[in-house]
Amino acid sequence: MNLQENWSQCLPKIKPQIDDSVVFDSFIHDLQARTYEGNSIILTTPFEFNVGIVEEYLPLMAEIYNSEHNTHYELKLLSDSQFEKEYNKKELQEEEEIPEFSDNLNPDFTFDNFVVGNSNRIAQNASLAVAMKPGTAYSPLFIYSNSGLGKTHLLNAIGNYIKKKDPKKMVLYASSEQFVNDYISSLGNGTIKEFNLRYRNIDTLLIDDIQFIASKESSSEMFFNIFNSLQNDNKQIVITSDKPPKDLKGMENRLVSRFTNGLTVSIDTPEFETSKAILQKKLEIEKVDYPISEEVLDFISSHFNRDVRELEGSLKRLLFYKLVFGQSKESIDLEFALEAFADSYKTEETKTVQNDLTVDEIKKCVATYYNLSVSQINSKSRTSNIIVARHIAMYLVRNLISDMSFIQIGKEFGGRDHSTVMKACDKVEKNMKKDAMYKKAVQEIKKKLS
Ligand SMILES: Nc1ncnc2c1ncn2[C@@H]1O[C@H](COP(=O)(O)OP(=O)(O)OP(=O)(O)O)[C@@H](O)[C@H]1O
Ligand 1 binding pocket mutation candidate from 154, 309, 314, 315 (most atoms within 8 A of CB):
309
Residues 248 and 168 reside in one and the same domain: yes
Phi–psi pair at 394, nearest 5 degrees = -60, -45
Q: Determine, yes or no, domain membership for 105.
A: no
The CATH number of the domain where 310 resides is what? 1.10.8.60
- The CB of 114 under 6 Å from ligand 1? The reply is yes
Last residue of a domain, one of 205, 239, 266: 266
Cα separation of 370 and 384, whole Å? Answer: 12
CA distance readout (Å), 222 to 22, 88, 190, 198, 417: 36, 22, 15, 13, 57
User: Of 96-100, 126-130, 363-367, where does mean pLDDT reach its minimum?
Assistant: 96-100
Residue nearest to ligand 1 atom 23, measured at CA? 148
Ligand 1 binding pocket mutation candidate from 122, 308, 311, 312 (most atoms within 8 A of CB):
308
Average pLDDT over residues 437-444: 92
- The CB of 150 under 6 Å from ligand 1? The reply is yes
Each residue of 349-372: pLDDT tens digit? 444 555 578 999 999 999 999 999
Residues 96 and 140 reside in one and the same domain: no
Each residue of 385-431: pLDDT tens digit? 999 999 999 999 988 887 778 888 999 999 898 888 888 988 898 89
Over the Cα atoms of the chain, what is R_g? 30
- Secondary structure element (H or E) that encloses residue 302, with its range: helix 294-303
- Number of folded domains in the chain? 4
Residues 315 and 342 reside in one and the same domain: yes
Average pLDDT over residues 177-190: 87
Residue 26 has pLDDT above 90, yes or no: no
- The CB of 278 under 6 Å from ligand 1? The reply is yes
The CATH number of the domain where 52 resides is what? 3.30.300.180
Q: Determine, yes or no, domain membership for 371.
A: yes
Q: Determine, yes or no, domain membership for 108.
A: no
- The CB of 115 under 6 Å from ligand 1? The reply is yes
Instruction: State the pLDDT at residue 88.
Output: 61
Output the furthest CA–CA distance in the chain (Å, rounded): 97
ipTM at complex level: 0.99
Residues 173 and 94 reside in one and the same domain: no
Instruction: State the pLDDT at residue 345.
Output: 56
Provide the residue range defining the domain that includes 283. Answer: 272-350
Ligand 1 geometric centre to CA of 240 (Å): 12
Residue 434 has pLDDT above 60, yes or no: yes
Cα separation of 158 and 374, whole Å? Answer: 52
- The CB of 144 under 6 Å from ligand 1? The reply is no
Ligand 1 geometric centre to CA of 164 (Å): 21
Q: Percent of the chain at pLDDT above 70?
A: 94
Residue 449 has pLDDT above 50, yes or no: yes
Instruction: State the pLDDT at residue 90.
Output: 56
- The CB of 269 under 6 Å from ligand 1? The reply is no
User: Of 89-93, 113-117, 244-248, where does mean pLDDT reach its minimum?
Assistant: 89-93
159 carries a ligand binding annotation: no
Residues 261 and 286 reside in one and the same domain: no
Last residue of a domain, one of 266, 300, 323: 266
Average pLDDT over residues 50-55: 86
Q: Determine, yes or no, domain membership for 239.
A: yes
Q: Percent of the chain at pLDDT above 90?
A: 47
Ligand 1 binding pocket mutation candidate from 125, 127, 143, 149 (most atoms within 8 A of CB):
149
Atom of ligand 1 nearest to the CA of 117: 1
Angle, alpha carbons 292-295-296 (nearest 5°): 50
Cα separation of 326 and 331, whole Å? Answer: 9
Choose among 161, 163, 170, 171: nearest CA to 132: 161
Ligand 1 geometric centre to CA of 318 (Å): 19
- The CB of 120 under 6 Å from ligand 1? The reply is yes
152 carries a ligand binding annotation: yes
Each residue of 130-164: pLDDT tens digit? 999 998 768 899 999 999 999 999 999 999 999 99
Secondary structure (DSSP) of 83-147: HIIIIIHHHHHHHHHGGG------TT--STT----TTTHHHHHHHHHHHHSTTTS-SSEEEE-ST
Ligand 1 geometric centre to CA of 299 (Å): 20
- The CB of 147 under 6 Å from ligand 1? The reply is yes
Of 303 and 16, more confident: 16
Cα separation of 36 and 226, whole Å? Answer: 10
Residues 142 and 200 reside in one and the same domain: yes
Measured from the Cβ of residue 272, the count of other Cβ atoms closer than 10 Å reads: 20
Residues 226 and 306 reside in one and the same domain: no
